[in-house]
Amino acid sequence: MSAKTSDADAQIRQAIDRENPSTVVAFEGFDGKAVFLIAVAFSAFQLWTAAFNPLSSMVVRSVHVGFLLLMTFALFGFRQETERKSVPWYDWLLGLTAFAIGLYHYVFEVDLIQRSGDPSTTDLVVGVVAIALVFEGARRIMGMALPIMCGVFIPYALFGRYLPFGLGHRGYDVDQVIDNLFLSTEGIYGTPTFVSASYIFLFILFGAFLERAGMIKLFNDVSLGLVGHAKGGPAKVAVISSGLMGTINGSGVANVLTTGQFTIPLMMRFGYRPAFAGAVEATASMGGQLMPPVMGAAAFIMAETIGVPYSEVAIAAAIPAILYFGSAFWMVHLEAGMRNLVGLPREQCPSALKAVIEGWYLILPLAALVYLLFSGFTPLFAGVMGIAATAALILGMRIVTTIGPTALRVAFWVVVGLVAAGLWRLGLRTEHLAFTIVVLLIIPCLLFRGGRETLALVVHSVADGAKNAIGVGVACALVGVLIGMMTLTGLASSFATTIVDWSGGNLLAALVLTMIACIVLGTGLPTTANYIITASIAAPALLTMGVPLIVSHMFVFYFGIMADLTPPVALAALAASSICKADHMEIGWIATRVAMAGYVVPFMAVYDPALVLQSGDWLAIGYVFVKACVAIALWGAATIGFFWTPLSWPARLYAAAASFLFVVALPLTDEAAFVMTGLFLLWQHRQRRALTAVPV
């Protein structure tokens, strides 16, 4: 039994590390201090370059990858299963070598530009080492799947002229491959790394600030106050709390391990099966990456890839996200109805209004961030301002606790505003002004013990953000190898042609093939890497078949996320199993049913893009939304076996058939589905009246 437990713990630890590397054991002594200082320096570098823009984009990407690899080799050992209590000298050597290579583009920037396309021997040697270190760093974090998948494209580029079966191409020399991967913006320093260094890091850091400041407690208290007392309240709390958490945390597994520590035991205490409780939390947590306004890292990469503002991606994701969480909410409501599960006593539920009043200042940075994102400002500017606003509020709220009367507290914030206005009139840029205010607030915090404790919280948030960015950043650098080689050889267009050929030109078949590819890739890849690869391979095929650009990318984006719920791997279910102590495969299969909206809505969006707001006809948008809601309601009844009354298997099959007709979008299928739904509701109404009429 202990051996099985240790094996499961090792699996869970690998899943956690892959999504959220800050959960690794903190080292003590010199190694602990060194890793902490490196993390703080990493975040400081990112904030400095974001606010002041002193370096070229290529240099920022290179140093960003250098920091990522330095922290990777410090935090993760050669063997993942080995308990790591310190950093061996050879890992420090590898990490420092990687960091030194990260400075190569900074030191020799002018020379590299002048000899662009004609790399020197030194350039080639350094490039080989850099590429090898990226592969090894990714292997330590994510295992062998992604490095192998990306690695095969290098020999493909080198030996293309010898390949059979239509895979051949003219082939490229070693210096051309290394030049593409190391010295251009098409390889490890490509678009994914650019987005990681520019946007993703800042939003991860923003989430780390809010988590340290108490946002998790605020979300839990608000959720408990709103629905904790309702039928099946604990599970509804999990859905709402995890959805809110998704606005600051784009990692599904990390979301399970934060909100799940509270919600899963609560659900089990009030009668939910352990596996169902774990499945609900896994489903809701993965949905955090789908939930606007701040989605997961892949959404920022999508915006950059297809060349649209991030706000457009978030708007397109709005209705599918509502349907996803609405589906999860409906499923737990039906489960509660079938098992007669009650909510918490009202006296045990905190007041949602009181929680908001006490934590109102935590909402302000998030509101400001959303406003900036949807007002046309770049994610870079919005991220910088969100972080500065959060730090200023945390420090300022600590200072005002030392001031007695409310009038003086108000006066303090008025003075801060006047100082900011004065600096603005002096001509300071907005980003510089924001960080100047933060520095001015740091000074008084140094003068008293509570202030110094708050400063320590801020510094630890900075370190947490750097650690949390490692997994996504290294995956982005490695996937750049695959993209660079596909761009160099033209393989992406060949893949698109192959998918179209295999599907015989049938859109539904192409969608199913793409879905399978996303889910299969997702068994061994993080969500971000999965999206980047499938967006490069499969999305162009859908585009050639007439699917709108943003819809095709949203399709692969959704199924990349759903892969973490789908057995046999189901990483989110694996993380939940560590809390609810149920079999992770059972959790995965239940989560697949609970999250069915995540599997169905992408297909509906392809056949009717109004579902992702790609239509100016609000009547059409309203119609497809209602249709999707009815389909989800019927599917929930079929899955759980309960609607207003318990359902027999024939009734469940009938509900599933009606739900399916809403999805297929063929002539007369909607009409037939609405008729079947009306008959189902009428029958259920009579069944409920018959049950209530029976004397107890």
The reply to whether 369 falls in a domain is: no
- Statement: residue 133 has pLDDT above 80: yes
Write down the H helix ranges in 292-429.
297-306, 310-316, 318-339, 352-358, 360-373, 379-400, 406-425
Which range among 64-78, 220-234, 591-605 has the greatest average pLDDT? 64-78
The reply to whether 424 falls in a domain is: no
**CB under 8 A, 24+ apart: contacts of 222-226:** 222/352, 222/355, 222/356, 224/344, 224/349, 224/350, 224/352, 225/349, 225/350, 225/351, 225/352, 225/353, 225/354, 225/355, 226/352
The reply to whether 218 falls in a domain is: no
- Say which residue the tokens 């989605």 belong to: 295
Q: Is 628 strand, coil or helix?
A: helix
The reply to whether 640 falls in a domain is: yes
The reply to whether 670 falls in a domain is: yes
Distance CA 301, CA 586 (A): 33
Which range among 162-171, 292-301, 416-425, 676-685 has the greatest average pLDDT? 676-685
Task: Write out pLDDT tens, residues 309-365.
Answer: 888 888 888 888 888 888 888 888 888 888 777 777 777 778 888 888 888 878 888
Residues 13-29, mean pLDDT to the nearest whole number: 54
Contact 328, 594 (CB under 8 A): yes
What percentage of the chain reaches a pLDDT higher than 70? 91
What is the domain extent for residue 666? 619-695
- Statement: residue 524 has pLDDT above 70: no
Range of weakest confidence among 116-130, 536-550, 558-572: 558-572
- Among 192, 224, 247, the domain-final residue is 192
**The predicted structure's pLDDT at residue 399:** 85
Contact 420, 435 (CB under 8 A): no
The tokens for 411 are 């006066």
The reply to whether 186 falls in a domain is: yes
The reply to whether 660 falls in a domain is: yes
- Statement: residue 31 has pLDDT above 70: yes
**The predicted structure's pLDDT at residue 676:** 93
Residues 378-404, mean pLDDT to the nearest whole number: 84
- Statement: residue 265 has pLDDT above 70: yes
- Statement: residue 602 has pLDDT above 90: no
Average pLDDT, the chain: 82
Task: Write out pLDDT tens, residues 38-50.
Answer: 999 999 999 999 8
- Among 140, 159, 192, the domain-final residue is 192
**The predicted structure's pLDDT at residue 424:** 81
**The predicted structure's pLDDT at residue 379:** 81
For the chain, the domain total comes to: 2
pTM to 2 decimals? 0.81
What count of other Cβ atoms lies within 10 Å of the Cβ of residue 505? 9
Contact 162, 168 (CB under 8 A): yes
Cβ-based neighbours of 41, under 8 Å, separated by 6 or more: 67
Task: Write out pLDDT tens, residues 268-305.
Answer: 877 778 888 888 888 888 877 787 777 777 788 888 88
Burial of residue 55 (number of CB atoms within 10 Å: 0-12, 13-18, 19+):
middle
- Among 148, 174, 192, the domain-final residue is 192
**The predicted structure's pLDDT at residue 382:** 84
The tokens for 373 are 């994102």
Contact 580, 271 (CB under 8 A): no
- Statement: residue 426 has pLDDT above 90: no
Distance of CA 42 to CAs 39, 251, 253, Å?
5, 20, 24
- Statement: residue 103 has pLDDT above 90: yes
More confident residue, 128 or 389: 128
Q: Which of 558, 461, 436, 544 is nearest to 498 (CA)?
A: 544
Phi then psi dihedrals of residue 62, to 5 deg: -65, -50
